[in-house]
Amino acid sequence: MSFPGNRYAWVLTVVLLLQATAFYAVASRSEGAPLVPPLSLFPPAFGGWTMLRDVPMEKEVQDVLKADDTLNRVYVNPSRTDYAFLFVAYFKTQRYGQAPHSPKNCLPGSGWEPVETGRETINVPGWNAPIVTNRYVVENGDEKSVVLYWYQTHNRIIASEYWAKFWLVVDSIRYRRSDTALVKIVVPVHDNDIGAATAVGVQFVQALFPSLLRQLPL
């Protein structure tokens, strides 16, 4: 389809133009992002889940990511039969080119290919409505995992990369803020039971969410 007839291309172009205009408009104004505790202080236990280990990130990955702070951990449930990998990348500003890298682009680069994509609606404590997250089923050889991820910004949980850019513009103008966090949960699939792995991921998000609200700025 040609560009003039592609509605999505036009929408994206408008969003990017608005983003650029907004950033130039507020370039001389300081941002008002609140202070955020180091992610290393994130609770090692919540809702019955317990940290199994911290997973160090390679310097090369950190250099590409350009996040101001990261968290990369493995948690285990009370029965120690289910594991969940938690990754959080926090960016206190996106004004100078720092921005979350979409997992849907990064996963194939690490050898994981998506075999199923969609959204997951989750009721979480402390939020006035169910949140909507991205849900990917990915595989690497004989291994499969369920991936849930979203962008957490000023009073918003956002699944769509396009809407994340839109609200970035709005918050930059209205609140002088461009801070954001990428939250990603990965649950291994056992016995090819994708439904069970998804249920574990949902339970983990529900247990995790109150701690996230205390950790990340609203």
Q: What is the pLDDT of residues 40-69, one digit of tens each?
A: 999 999 999 999 999 988 888 888 888 999
Measure the CA–CA gap between 52 and 55, rounded to whole angstroms.
10
Number of domains in the chain: 1
Indicate the burial class of 109 (C-beta count within 10 angstroms; 0-12, 13-18, 19 or more).
Answer: exposed
Q: Is the pLDDT of residue 215 over 60?
A: yes
- Between helix 7-25 and helix 161-174 the angle, nearest 10°, is 30
Q: Examine the pLDDT at 217 and tell me if it is beyond 50.
A: yes
Answer with the residue of higher pLDDT: 1 or 138.
138
Question: What integer pLDDT is reported at residue 167 of this predicted model?
Answer: 79
Rounded to 5°, angle at Cα 75 from 187 and 202 = 45
pLDDT value at position 19? 58
* pLDDT confidence of residue 60: 82
Q: For residue 137, what are the domain limits?
A: 3-215
Tens of pLDDT, residues 171-206:
777 777 888 899 999 999 999 999 999 999 999 999
